[in-house]
Amino acid sequence: MTMSTSTLLSLLKQQKYGFFSGVPCSNFADLFQQVSLDNDIASVPAASEGSALSFAVGAALAGRRSVVALQNSGLGNIINPLTSLVQINCIPTLLLISVRGHTDEAEDEPQHRIMGANTHALLDQLAIPWSEFDGTPQGFMAALLKAEEAFGRSVSFAVLVRKGQLSAGLGVVGDRELQVDGYPLSVGSALEIVSEALRTSDLVVSTTGFISRELFRVSDRPENFYMQGSLGHCSAVAAGVALAHPSRRVVALDGDGAVLMHMGVLSTIGYAAPRNFLHIVLDNEGYVSTGKQESTSVTSSLEAVAAACGYRAVSRCVTKAELDDAVARSLASEGPHFLLCKVNQSHSRSLPRVTSQHTPEENKRAFQIAVSRPSGGDLQAVPAGAVR
């Protein structure tokens, strides 16, 4: 059964919900876009599920009934504020949790396997009552009435949503989308430019979603570690490799949504200053892998943040020539480098899944073997004392 996101929104408003925050999942269809256009419900797109819940708590303190939408992969990000803020202070919130990797469904991507099997048990363990949405307006209303009862006891409530249960209305193309689509480079073309500049021995760690899938399409090699899941942690993994293996050049291929989710890592990288590290952010101003929901990168200069955090050199590119030049310069001098590349939201029509060829464990093993292969002293090419 499928219900439209506009029906979901009207039922929420009928039950007096006045504030919305969250981090997208493809199962939410156009919910984030719809809610941002709705004048009756205040909303904010959060960088992480933990801050979404905290915004909701703030709104609740100010008298608004709040709903937070998250994928079950984000449960880990909310457990701290859920237990030590929401539950301790008895500030009930409605959680709309999309369940990826549900055990009743055909197998999902590997990163969802463990959370898919444990979402219900985790909520039980945390004493959060929940109900599975059945895809009908009556079913959603029944869940909201159960939430009402829980709220009466100052307890939060979770409604679990599954793939295909929510449908999008007619797409509205806003000014923002038109602007993003005006950027000349796509993720695929940017990755072609980066791949051409790399040596065989250079190591690459790519972020979850379409960026890893594009890298796999453009240039699959054992020196690539494709992250699937762990949104926001790609640069820390890549910097960990770089710090542990200072003689190899390491590139993190990151997304704007991912960087925003755990932006504190930029400060750690600036502090640790791995000289063999290049951090590339493909900034399409959205969560494109989950349905092009807006991210907040449009009003942030991530490269300015990286500079302020102590990266040795930062640049911002829009055109092919700018990216060519910035990649060549970064690879020829001491890092850590940060390179922000504005990209549009288009992707190759058939984007293969990494798992069509490599299980995560096979990818890890191949990468470890590639890391341990002698590289021929790559960093001798770095000019001594190269500066900003």
Ligand X SMILES: Cc1ncc(C[n+]2csc(CCOP(=O)(O)OP(=O)(O)O)c2C)c(N)n1
d(CA 174, CA 321): 29
- Is 309 among the residues that bind ligand X (CB under 6 A)? no
Match 């494109």 to its residue by tokens: 288
- Is 256 among the residues that bind Mg ion (CB under 5 A)? yes
Tell me which residues in 269-288 interact with ligand X (CB under 6 A). Answer: 284, 286-288
What's the token pair of residue 346?
């288009």
Residue of 202, 223, 256, 294 that binds ligand X (CB under 6 A): 256
Q: How many helices (H) and strands (E) does the chain have?
A: 15, 16
Strand, helix or coil at 342?
Answer: strand
- Is 354 among the residues that bind ligand X (CB under 6 A)? no
Q: Which residues pair with 132 in a beta bridge?
A: 160
Residues 6+ apart with CB under 8 A from 381: 332
Closer residue to Mg ion, CB minimum distance, 67 or 190 = 190
Closer residue to ligand X, CB minimum distance, 113 or 146 = 113
Closer residue to Mg ion, CB minimum distance, 48 or 284 = 284
Residue of 3, 8, 25, 194 that binds ligand X (CB under 6 A): 25
Contact partner at residue 229 from ligand X, Mg ion, none, CB < 5 to 8 Å by partner kind: ligand X
Contact 291, 29 (CB under 8 A): yes
- Is 255 among the residues that bind ligand X (CB under 6 A)? yes
- Is 23 among the residues that bind ligand X (CB under 6 A)? yes
- Is 116 among the residues that bind ligand X (CB under 6 A)? no
Contact partner at residue 207 from Mg ion, ligand X, none, CB < 5 to 8 Å by partner kind: ligand X
- Is 119 among the residues that bind ligand X (CB under 6 A)? no
Using alpha carbons, list the distances in angstroms from residue 57 to 24, 39, 86, 338.
Answer: 19, 20, 7, 34
Q: Are strands 277-283 and 337-342 parallel, antiparallel or unpaired?
A: parallel
- Is 290 among the residues that bind ligand X (CB under 6 A)? yes
| Min dist. Cβ of residue 94 to ligand X (A) | 18
Q: How far is CA 59 from the centre of its chain?
A: 24
d(CA 297, CA 299): 5
- Is 71 among the residues that bind ligand X (CB under 6 A)? yes
| Min dist. Cβ of residue 244 to ligand X (A) | 25
- Is 73 among the residues that bind ligand X (CB under 6 A)? yes
Binding mask 200-239 for ligand X (x = CB under 6 A): -------xxxxx-----------------x-x--------
Strand, helix or coil at 18?
Answer: strand
Residue of 43, 54, 66, 77 that binds ligand X (CB under 6 A): 77
Contact partner at residue 274 from ligand X, Mg ion, none, CB < 5 to 8 Å by partner kind: none
d(CA 220, CA 222): 7
What's the token pair of residue 34?
């719809």
Backbone angles phi, psi at 377, to 5 degrees: 60, 55
- Is 22 among the residues that bind ligand X (CB under 6 A)? no
Contact partner at residue 206 from Mg ion, ligand X, none, CB < 5 to 8 Å by partner kind: none
Using alpha carbons, list the distances in angstroms from residue 269 to 131, 238, 242, 291.
Answer: 42, 10, 11, 30
- Which parts of this chain interact with Mg ion (CB under 5 A)? 255-257, 284
- Which parts of this chain interact with ligand X (CB under 6 A)? 23-25, 71, 73-74, 77, 207-211, 229, 231, 255-258, 284, 286-290, 295
